[in-house]
Homo-oligomer: A and B are copies of this chain.
């Protein structure tokens, strides 16, 4: 049996999917090996396929070059082996810019070159509870928000009791079977990843975490089980262009694994993912020194995914490792009794400005405990905080500026000077003598931008409102004749 897809069109960075019928006896998840070689001219890419239950097998592929692609399947099961065919990859439609890549060491851009600045948020388990209404609400909230990346987990935590959407076969800790997956979990997750894609939101998938403590038995699996899980996840999800791999959240809180284990799993991910999606790992402990972080200079790490509550250290982290800095956790706005979940909107907004103005990126989260919906960081729902609209304002300011605002600052063409808690009455600023500048005073809390009358050059004194959370945006507008 040979299925042919002559003439089928797949968008660039879209998803081609080949569906095959095969055996359902035994444990196909473990026993069946399946992949396909996809060839464009002399380029060959070979993603793994996966068993989707009920005797159905799928191979997914994300083509990155317009033109004709041919494929042929390979399997240890003759029924699945040797299927060949072709499809045409066509130009990406509007709004499809491809996967996000690192650009200019510290920045990101989509593969088509469009700049991408992560303004992330966190909803760890918004897809696990089978509450469609809440998930739709979460998507609506995200749509109305400035957020273009969501950190979300696959594995359950000890606080999540049955029934829930479980990644492995089984329904409760007693019958969970980690030698089989739950295709329904993934089908549902994939539909949500697609929903996010439609909204222009990256899915920063957290593959492991330390929050199970042996309840489901998913944070203390052996090396073989970890690899089995990772390979399946990558086979199913890597062809979604908006996927990032966050190997673990707060990895250092998992006492079952060592840094060597994480190195191995990161390398496995690097080796298995045909598309080289962004890859990082996220620390748990609060530390003062870069040296306590995971060593982000390791070659399988694409960017620095940091937990730290002091955005001021961005400068230090940039000096330590020339990879983008994403402070994915910097404390959440809210009123939780936990230390990480109760800063004010003012404080979170401040930390965003501090991090961005130093050339890093900062992630959002909300943890209000006595509102209509439960904590956003766990379940999604609605946002109640005061930071969200300020982050939207900041994003607008950043997008109006040069793509590489730190380089522009170096060359003197653009400066975003943020004064944080300092409430200057005035400030001396050094500008180039051979250039003319426009200066605007930004009130980051009030979300106002006020241009100072006139143009400026050389060393100048700028009167400031003498209150905290003020920034200056200084833009070169011409030369001095």
Residues of B within 8 A of A335 (CB): 423-425, 464, 466
Identify 25 residue pairs between A and B in the complex whose beta-carbon atoms are under 8 Å apart, listed by A's number: A288-B288, A334-B423, A335-B423, A335-B424, A335-B425, A335-B464, A337-B424, A337-B425, A337-B426, A337-B427, A337-B428, A342-B419, A342-B422, A342-B423, A342-B424, A342-B425, A343-B421, A343-B422, A343-B468, A344-B421, A344-B467, A344-B468, A347-B468, A369-B425, A369-B426
Asked if A370 lies at the interface with its beta carbon under 8 angstroms from chain B, I say: yes
CB closest residue in chain B, given A428: B337
Complex Cα spacing A419 to B426, Å: 32
Interface residues of A in 314-340 (CB under 8 A from B): 334-337, 339
Closest CB in chain B relative to A384 CB, distance in Å: 11
- The answer to whether A347 touches B425, judged by C-beta atoms less than 8 angstroms apart, is no
Q: By CB atoms of chain B within 10 A, which of A422, A425, A467 has the most?
A: A422
Complex Cα spacing A464 to B335, Å: 9
Residues of B within 8 A of A467 (CB): 344
Closest CB in chain B relative to A116 CB, distance in Å: 31
- Give A residues with C-beta under 8 Å from B: 288-289, 334-337, 339, 342-344, 347, 368-370, 419, 421-428, 464, 466-468
Closest CB in chain B relative to A193 CB, distance in Å: 33
Which of B344, B425, B466 is within 8 Å of A423, CB to CB?
B344
CB closest residue in chain B, given A343: B421
CB closest residue in chain B, given A334: B423
CB closest residue in chain B, given A370: B425
A335-B425, A336-B425, A369-B425 given; name 6 further pairs at CB < 8 Å: A335-B464, A339-B422, A342-B422, A343-B421, A343-B423, A344-B467
Complex Cα spacing A343 to B422, Å: 5
Closest CB in chain B relative to A295 CB, distance in Å: 20
Complex Cα spacing A212 to B452, Å: 37
Complex Cα spacing A368 to B424, Å: 9
Residues of B within 8 A of A336 (CB): 424-425
Closest CB in chain B relative to A74 CB, distance in Å: 55
Complex Cα spacing A422 to B346, Å: 12
CB closest residue in chain B, given A346: B468
Residues of B within 8 A of A347 (CB): 421, 468
